[in-house]
C-alpha cells in the first residue's frame, strides 16, 4: 500500500508527556492516573462540571411524562445560571430534577391541593418553588437560619408571582415559638439538613412536626463517609470532624455499596419517625446520590 500511519501532533505530545512506559509504571494505580484519563475517561479532578452535566443529561433522559409536566410548570428555573443541559428543547438542572422527583414521591400519598406546608431548612427555595408552581398550596411556612432565609426570600420573590409569594411566611429559628402561633400543617418537609444539625435540634424539630403535622417528608443521608477520594477532604479535617458529629445517624459506611446503604436505611426510617405513634408509609432510595434516602411518615388517624 505504501502508506504508513502517522502520529499526529496531539498524540505525539501525549506519547511524550502523558502516556508512555515510564509513566505507566507498575499498574498499581494507573486507572486513577493521567495515563488512564487520556485513554478512557475525563480527569475527575478537573472535569467536575463535565460529569455533572453528563449526570443531568442521563437523568433527563429517564424523566417520566408526569415529571416533564411538573418541570415545565416551574418558570424561572434558570435564575442564577445553574449548570444545565438542554433536553428535548428544555433547560434542565440537577436541583429541579431532584425537586420534581421529591414531589412525585410525596404526591403518591399526600393530596397537596389546598394544603398548608412547613419546610424546615429551605436552602434557596427550590422545593417551595416547585410545590407552589405545581399545586394549589394554601400557605407555605419556611423555618431557617436568618442568613439563608435572606437568599430564599429574595429568590422566591423573583421566581414566583406576587399572589403565590404572599402565601409564604418566613420564620427565623429564634422566633419559632412566637411566630408559629397555633398553626398546623398538612405536610412538613426537611431535605438535606437534619443530618447537619446537632441531636437536640433534630429532636426539637421532630417533636414540632409530631405536634403540628399530619405528614412528614424527609430526604437526607443515611450516614457518614470517610472516602477521601471523593473530595480529598478539601475543607480540612476540622470540617470533617464537625460533619461526622452532626445529626442522628453518625455511622461511617461505604456510601457506594448499595447493600450497606440499604442496611443503614433501616436505621434512617426509625430515626426520622417524628413520634412512635407515626407510621412510615413509603421509603426508598433518593436518586441520584448513592447514600440518600427518602421517607414519608403519617400521623395516626386520630391525629390527622
Instruction: Output the domain CATH number for residue 244.
Output: 3.40.50.150
- Same structural domain, 133 and 23: no
Question: Does 198 fall in a domain?
Answer: yes
Quick check: 185 and 250 in contact, CB under 8 A?
no
- Same structural domain, 15 and 140: no
Question: Does 239 fall in a domain?
Answer: yes
Question: Quick one: pLDDT at residue 3?
Answer: 73
- Same structural domain, 187 and 290: yes
Residue 17 Cα distances to 10, 61, 227, angstroms: 11, 38, 30
Question: Quick one: pLDDT at residue 303?
Answer: 53
Question: Does 74 fall in a domain?
Answer: no
Question: Quick one: pLDDT at residue 36?
Answer: 74
E-assigned strands of the chain?
Answer: 84-87, 90-93, 116-120, 139-144, 168-172, 187-191, 215-221, 279-285, 292-298
C-alpha cell at 33: 492516573
The domain in which residue 141 lies consists of 93-303
Question: Quick one: pLDDT at residue 11?
Answer: 67
Q: Which residue in 295, 225, 300, 299 sits closest to 267, CA to CA?
A: 295
Could you read off the pLDDT tens digit of each residue along the chain, which spans 304 residues? Answer: 677 667 777 768 877 888 777 877 776 776 777 777 776 777 777 888 999 999 999 999 999 999 999 999 999 999 999 999 999 999 999 999 999 999 999 999 999 999 999 999 999 999 999 999 999 999 999 999 999 999 999 999 999 999 999 999 999 999 998 999 999 999 999 999 999 888 999 999 999 999 999 999 999 999 988 776 666 666 677 766 666 777 889 899 999 999 999 999 999 999 999 999 999 999 999 999 999 999 999 999 875 5
pTM for this structure? 0.89
Question: Quick one: pLDDT at residue 75?
Answer: 97
Question: Does 269 fall in a domain?
Answer: yes
Total domains in the fold of the chain: 2
Q: How many residues does the chain have?
A: 304
Question: Does 103 fall in a domain?
Answer: yes
- Same structural domain, 100 and 34: no
Quick check: 156 and 128 in contact, CB under 8 A?
yes
- Same structural domain, 31 and 158: no
Question: Does 154 fall in a domain?
Answer: yes
- Same structural domain, 163 and 260: yes
Question: Does 52 fall in a domain?
Answer: no
Amino acid at each position: 500500500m505504501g502508506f504508513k500511519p502517522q502520529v499526529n501532533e496531539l498524540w505525539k505530545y501525549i506519547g511524550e508527556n502523558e502516556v508512555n512506559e515510564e509513566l505507566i509504571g507498575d499498574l498499581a494505580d494507573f486507572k486513577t492516573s493521567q495515563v488512564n484519563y487520556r485513554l478512557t475517561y475525563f480527569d475527575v479532578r478537573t472535569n467536575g462540571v463535565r460529569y455533572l452535566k453528563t449526570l443531568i443529561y442521563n437523568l433527563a433522559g429517564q424523566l417520566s411524562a408526569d415529571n416533564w409536566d411538573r418541570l415545565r410548570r416551574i418558570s424561572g428555573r434558570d435564575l442564577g445560571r445553574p449548570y444545565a443541559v438542554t433536553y428535548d428543547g428544555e433547560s434542565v438542572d440537577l436541583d429541579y430534577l431532584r425537586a420534581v422527583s421529591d414531589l412525585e414521591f410525596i404526591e403518591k400519598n399526600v393530596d397537596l391541593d389546598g394544603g398548608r406546608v412547613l419546610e424546615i431548612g429551605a436552602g434557596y427555595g427550590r422545593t417551595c418553588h416547585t410545590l407552589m408552581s405545581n399545586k394549589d398550596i394554601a400557605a407555605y411556612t419556611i423555618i431557617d437560619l436568618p442568613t439563608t432565609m435572606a437568599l430564599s426570600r429574595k429568590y422566591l420573590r423573583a421566581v414566583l408571582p406576587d399572589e403565590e409569594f404572599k402565601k409564604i411566611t418566613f420564620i427565623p429559628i429564634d422566633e419559632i415559638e412566637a411566630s408559629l402561633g397555633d398553626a398546623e400543617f398538612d405536610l412538613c418537609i426537611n431535605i438535606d439538613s437534619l443530618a447537619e444539625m446537632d441531636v437536640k435540634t433534630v429532636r426539637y424539630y421532630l417533636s414540632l412536626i409530631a405536634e403540628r403535622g399530619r405528614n412528614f417528608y424527609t430526604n437526607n443521608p443515611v450516614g457518614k463517609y470517610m472516602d477521601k477520594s471523593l473530595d480529598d477532604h478539601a475543607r480540612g479535617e476540622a470540617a470533617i470532624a464537625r460533619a461526622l458529629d452532626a445529626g442522628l445517624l453518625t455511622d461511617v459506611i461505604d456510601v457506594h455499596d448499595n447493600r450497606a446503604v440499604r442496611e443503614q436505611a433501616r436505621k434512617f426510617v426509625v430515626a426520622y419517625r417524628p413520634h412512635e405513634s407515626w407510621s412510615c408509609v413509603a421509603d426508598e432510595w433518593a436518586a441520584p446520590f448513592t447514600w440518600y434516602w427518602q421517607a414519608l411518615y403519617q400521623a395516626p388517624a386520630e391525629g390527622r
